[in-house]
Amino acid sequence: MDNLLEFNRQQLIDYIHKFGHKPYRAKQLLRWIYRFGEDRFDEMTDVAKSFRLTLKESASIIPPEISFDHLSTDGTRKWLLNVGEKNGIESVFIPEEDRGTLCISSQVGCALECTFCSTGRQGFNRNLTAGEIIGQLWLANKMLRHQDDYSGLEREGRIITNVVMMGMGEPLANYKNVVQALEMMLDDQIYGLSRRRVTLSTSGLIPAMDKLKEDCPVSLAVSLHAPDDKLRDQIVPINKKYPIKDLMAACKRYINKAPRDFITFEYVMLKGVNDSIQQAKLLIQIVKEVPCKFNLIPFNPFPNSGYLCSDKKTINEFKSVLMEAGIIATIRKTRGDDIDAACGQLAGQVQDKTKRTMRIKSV
Catalytic residues, by residue number, are 90, 343
Residue of the chain from 47, 117, 322, 350 that contacts ligand SAH (CB under 6 A):
117
CA dist 9 and 49 (Å) reads 21
> Using the rule CB under 6 A, is 175 a contact of ligand SAH?
no
DSSP 162: E
> Using the rule CB under 6 A, is 202 a contact of ligand SAH?
yes
Q: Name residues contacting ligand SAH, limited to 83-112 (CB under 6 A).
A: 110
Instruction: Please report how close the Cβ of residue 161 comes to ligand SAH at its closest, in angstroms.
Output: 19
* Bridge pairing between strands 65-71 and 77-82: antiparallel
Nearest to 343 by CA among 98, 64, 114: 114
> Using the rule CB under 6 A, is 270 a contact of ligand SF4?
no
Compute φ and ψ for 10, nearest 5 degrees.
-65, -40
269 contact choice in ligand SF4, ligand SAH, none (CB below 5 to 8 Å, kind-dependent): none
Count of chain residues binding ligand SAH (CB under 6 A)? 18
DSSP 3-state of 328: strand
Q: Which residue of the chain is nearest ligand SF4 when measured via CB?
A: 120
> Using the rule CB under 6 A, is 263 a contact of ligand SAH?
no
Whether the CB-CB separation of 150 and 100 falls below 8 Å is answered with no
Q: Smaller CB distance to ligand SAH: residue 261 or 340?
A: 340
Q: How many CB atoms lie within 10 A of CB 20?
A: 8
Residue of the chain from 141, 203, 274, 345 that contacts ligand SF4 (CB under 6 A):
203
Residue of the chain from 16, 144, 280, 343 that contacts ligand SAH (CB under 6 A):
343
Q: Smaller CB distance to ligand SF4: residue 120 or 301?
A: 120
How far is residue 35 from each of residues 27, 52, 127, 296, measured CA to CA in Å? 11, 18, 27, 35
C-alpha 236 chain-centroid distance? 18
Q: CA angle 109-357-68, nearest 5°? A: 15
Residue of the chain from 101, 129, 201, 264 that contacts ligand SAH (CB under 6 A):
201
Kindly state the helix (H) or strand (E) to which residue 46 belongs, with its residue range.
none
> Using the rule CB under 6 A, is 247 a contact of ligand SF4?
no
Q: Smaller CB distance to ligand SAH: residue 26 or 255?
A: 255
The sign one gets for the Cα dihedral 253, 265, 77, 346 is positive
Q: How many CA atoms lie within 13 A of 98 on its CB side?
A: 1
Compute φ and ψ for 20, nearest 5 degrees.
80, 20
Residue of the chain from 13, 108, 114, 140 that contacts ligand SF4 (CB under 6 A):
114
> Using the rule CB under 6 A, is 165 a contact of ligand SF4?
no
Site residues (vs ligand SF4, CB under 6 A): 110, 112-114, 117, 119-120, 169-170, 203, 223
Site residues (vs ligand SAH, CB under 6 A): 110, 114, 116-118, 166, 170, 201-203, 223, 266, 268, 297, 299-300, 343-344
